[in-house]
Amino acid sequence: MIATVTETRQARGLAARWRATATGRSSGFLVRWGALLAVGVVWELLATRSRSPFFPPMTDILTRARDLWFSGDLAAGFVAWDRVQVDLVPSFTRLALGWLLAAGVGIVAGVVIGRARNLADYVDPLVHFLRAIPPPALIPPFLILLGQGDRMKVALIAFGVVWPILLNTIDGVRSVDQVQLDTARIYGIGVRRRLTHIVLPAAAPRIFAGLRISLAIALILMVLSEMVGSVDGIGFGILQAQRSFQYVNMWAGILVLGIAGYAINAGFLRIERRVLAWHRAEKGGAR
């Protein structure tokens, strides 16, 4: 929580400095993407010079990524669906299922535990113990229990990411302002409306912080789970490419994963900003 708060504050400070130094929108854009572009160019130069088979030039990687997944025709939206169907769709389906399952369980359980103080005393140690287990350690038992299929992968992702959501929800629900709760009681707002109109919105900033952290963990666990006993998915694809000495394919897979991770996070931030507009404005003292 603290990390995310300082993070946003730093980000805001940086953004302000960018705005101050940049003379226009286009130069701000340049600053933001320039560093990434520079890394790409340096990679290209070093790779072309070294001719190492392990580090192919960036242009080769980009071309391969396009050929593999984005060589479809106009009707298909330039997406090569046959390969995407095998490499990307299974991965992101697992990611979505695992994350949504964890979000559902984490928020519901978090509200229950957060509202019932006695219950929290019993489950707190258990929650903190389970959270301390590094999720990859559970791959062997999950393989035995659930087999090599999607169920194991979804379960691993869900187990790994449920804790930040659960703990943030408990924390958010517990720290709802007493005056707000008293106000609700005075005005006879019933239990259900109190939950939907007061407790959940008040806890929303923390719940979203938990969801955001868990999304990053979900991506890691998705790749990891596909590297042990899998027949499809991007994690499997990257490992398979390395084992069959197709290093360009391997790097192309990593590149696509990076882009997807960035896009998912950006999409989530967009939704968060919309939902929590009141929170940002209130804390920022905006008029």
Q: Does 40 bind other proteins (CB under 8 A)?
A: no
Q: Does 175 bind other proteins (CB under 8 A)?
A: no
**Do residues 4 and 213 touch, judged by C-beta distance below 8 A?**
yes
Among 1-9, 199-207, 245-253, 256-264, which window interacts with other proteins (CB under 8 A)?
199-207
Minimum CB distance to other proteins, residue 5 (Å): 17
Q: Does 53 bind other proteins (CB under 8 A)?
A: no
Minimum CB distance to other proteins, residue 122 (Å): 25
Query: Is residue 160 classed exposed, middle or buried when 0-12, 13-18 and 19+ CB atoms within 10 A define those classes?
Result: buried
Minimum CB distance to other proteins, residue 204 (Å): 8
Minimum CB distance to other proteins, residue 287 (Å): 6
Among 38-46, 68-76, 213-221, 278-286, which window interacts with other proteins (CB under 8 A)?
278-286
Distance (Å, whole) CA 152 – CA 141: 10
Residue with tokens 């479809």: 72
Among 43-51, 135-143, 157-165, 188-196, which window interacts with other proteins (CB under 8 A)?
188-196
Q: What is the dihedral of CA 228, 103, 214, 98, to 10 degrees?
A: 10
Distance (Å, whole) CA 203 – CA 156: 26
Among 185, 243, 266, 274, binds other proteins (CB under 8 A): 185
Distance (Å, whole) CA 147 – CA 88: 21
- Tokens found for residue 108: 């519901």
Minimum CB distance to other proteins, residue 278 (Å): 5
Minimum CB distance to other proteins, residue 3 (Å): 24
Q: Does 286 bind other proteins (CB under 8 A)?
A: yes
Q: Does 209 bind other proteins (CB under 8 A)?
A: no
Query: Is residue 121 classed exposed, middle or buried when 0-12, 13-18 and 19+ CB atoms within 10 A define those classes?
Result: exposed
Q: Does 111 bind other proteins (CB under 8 A)?
A: no
- Tokens found for residue 36: 């990434």
**Do residues 234 and 226 touch, judged by C-beta distance below 8 A?**
yes
Give the closest residue to 248 by CA, choosing from 70, 80, 67: 67
**What are the residues binding other proteins (CB under 8 A)?**
177, 179-180, 182-183, 185-190, 193, 197-198, 201-202, 204, 278-279, 281-282, 285-287
